[in-house]
Structure 1
C-alpha cells in the first residue's frame, strides 16, 4: 500500500506544477515573481514543488503578477479541496459528533457498493445503539469534544435504514480480534455480537471475518477503510480522516480488500467465530 497521505502530497505537487506553468507562460523567473510578490524566492520554490500549500491570498498574488487572474477561482477551489482530503479528527468533530455523522449522509445515500475493512471496531452500519454510544462516548472524552453523543447515536441508527432500502450492497470485513475486543462492557458486547449475526443475514450484506493467526503476506493495511463505489475511499487514521480520490490509489485499496476477503471466512464459519466470542464473554 502507498503511504496514506500520498493522495494529499500528489495533489499538492500537481497544484504546484500548475502554478509553475502559469509563471513560465508569463515569462517570469521564480526570483522575479518572488520579488514582485514581496516574499523570499524559496517560497516560490516551495509552492511550485508542493512542499507548502498555497493560501487563497498566495494564489491571488501569483495569478495577478502572472496576468492569469481568471484562473484564480479554480486554483483556490483546488487548494481547498486538497485541504479537505486530510482532516484531523479534532477539526472534523469540532462542531460536534452529531454534525460529523450528518455530514456523510449524502455520500451514503448516493453510494451503491460499499466495501469496508475494520481492524478497530464493528462497522458503524452494523452497530447497536449501545455499542455506538460506548464508542462515541470514548471518542468525545478523548478528543474533549461537545457532549452530543445521544444526537450522534440517533443519526447513526437512522442511517442504518440504507441496509434495507434502495439498491445498496455492503461487503464488510472485520478482524476476529474486533469481535473479542470488549467495547463498553460484556453485556453491551454480547448484544452487539448477537446483532452482528442477525445483520449478516440481510440480503444486502456480506460479512467476512478474518481469523486470528491466519498467515499473511507483507504489506497488509492496518488502517480501517471504507470504499464508496470506485469513486472514493475514506481511511481512519489515529489522528485524522483521509479521503482518497486518485484512481491509482483507489485501485490499491480495491486489491487489498480483495486479498483480505480471500482469507476471510463467511456464512456458518463466520457465525461460529462470532458465537465463540460471545461464549468467551460468559
Structure 2
C-alpha cells in the first residue's frame, strides 16, 4: 500500500474515533483518563499520526460505552492493509467507512482528473441519486445498510469542490446520463445538478457523446490524484496504481477521451437531451 493511501485511511479512522468521542460528550483528556493513556496518544490517534491497534480500537469503543462500534472500527483498520482493497472486506460494516476515507483522500489532493463510464461521479451526486446507488450496491454486496450515514459522508466529500485551491477535471460517458439509477424525478434532479456545475472556475466537466469518434473504447472509470496515483474500481476490488508507467498510461487515456468530449454549452445540450427523455408525468 502507498504511503499517501495509507495515511488517508489512517486519518479517516482517526476522524471516526474523534467523532465517537465528541458524540459521547467527552474531552480528549477525559477519555485518556478513562483509558489510562497519555493525552498525547488520544491526540495522535485522532489526527492520524499514529496507527491504532485492534485492542486500542476495542478499548476506545468500550470506554465510550459503544461496543457496537467495535466491528466498524476493526473493518476500517483492516482497510489499511492492502493496495488491492476487496469491496467485501471494506464494506463489512457498511459504506460509511469507505466514504470517510474518500473525504480524507480528496482533502489531501490538489488536482483531480477523473472519468466515469456508467454512473455520475460521487463528487457530483445529489443525495437522492447517491442513496439509490448505495442501496443497490449494499444489496449486491450483501453489506450492512448504513445508507444515511454513507450519503452524509459522500456529501461532505463534495465540500472540496468549493475550495479555490483545488481543480477538478472530470469526464462522463453520455450513457451514464441515461442510466436510470433511480426514478425519473431523481434523475432530473441529478442532471440539473450537473448543469449547475458547468462554468464553476475550479471544475471542468466534459461529456463524451455516444456518437463521438473515439481514439479508444471508453473502458472503465478511473481517477488520477495529483498526477501521482490512479484509483480504479472494479466490481469486487479497488486498486491504487502509483508506478510512473501506470499514471502516464491513464493520463494518456484521459487525454484521448477528453479530445472526444464536449464542454460548456454543448455539454448543457446533452444534459438537456437526457432530461427531456425522462418520463416525468
Q: State TM-score, norm by structure 2.
A: 0.69
The match for 1:244 is 241
State the 1:203 CA deviation. 1.4
Evaluate the alpha carbon distance shift between residue 254 and residue 82 of structure 1 in structure 2; reply closer, same or farther with a 3 A threshold.
Answer: farther
Counterparts of 1:1-282 in structure 2, within 5 Å, are 84-218=82-216, 220-282=217-279
Q: Count residues in correspondence.
A: 204
Evaluate the alpha carbon distance shift between residue 233 and residue 239 of structure 1 in structure 2; reply closer, same or farther with a 3 A threshold.
Answer: same
* Superposed CA offset, 1:148-198 (max 9, x none): 010000011111111112411000100010011111111100000001100
Q: Report SS of the residue matched to 2:231.
A: strand
* Superposed CA offset, 1:197-241 (max 9, x none): 0022321110000000223234x3511101101121100112211
* Superposed CA offset, 1:13-40 (max 9, x none): xxxxxxxxxxxxxxxxxxxxxxxxxxxx
Using the alignment, how far apart are the partners of 2:131 and 2:227 within structure 1?
31
Evaluate the alpha carbon distance shift between residue 241 and residue 276 of structure 1 in structure 2; reply closer, same or farther with a 3 A threshold.
Answer: same
Using the alignment, how far apart are the partners of 1:123 and 1:102 within structure 2?
16
State the 1:106 CA deviation. 2.2
Q: Report SS of the residue matched to 2:128.
A: helix
Unpaired stretches in structure 2, ≥5 consecutive residues: 3-77
The match for 1:66 is none
Moved beyond 4 Å, runs of 4+: 80-83
Unpaired stretches in structure 1, ≥5 consecutive residues: 1-6, 9-79
Q: State TM-score, norm by structure 1.
A: 0.69
Using the alignment, how far apart are the partners of 1:81 and 1:135 within structure 2?
22
Of structures 1 and 2, the larger Rg is shown by 1
User: Does the aligned pair in 2 maintain the 1:221–1:256 contact within 8 Å?
Assistant: no
Range with bigger deviation, 208-217 or 169-178 = 208-217
State the 1:84 CA deviation. 1.6
Evaluate the alpha carbon distance shift between residue 201 and residue 163 of structure 1 in structure 2; reply closer, same or farther with a 3 A threshold.
Answer: same
Using the alignment, how far apart are the partners of 1:272 and 1:266 within structure 2?
10
State the 1:277 CA deviation. 0.2
Q: Cα RMSD (Å) of the superposition?
A: 2.1
Q: Report SS of the residue matched to 2:130.
A: helix
User: Does the aligned pair in 1 maintain the 2:110–2:226 contact within 8 Å?
Assistant: yes
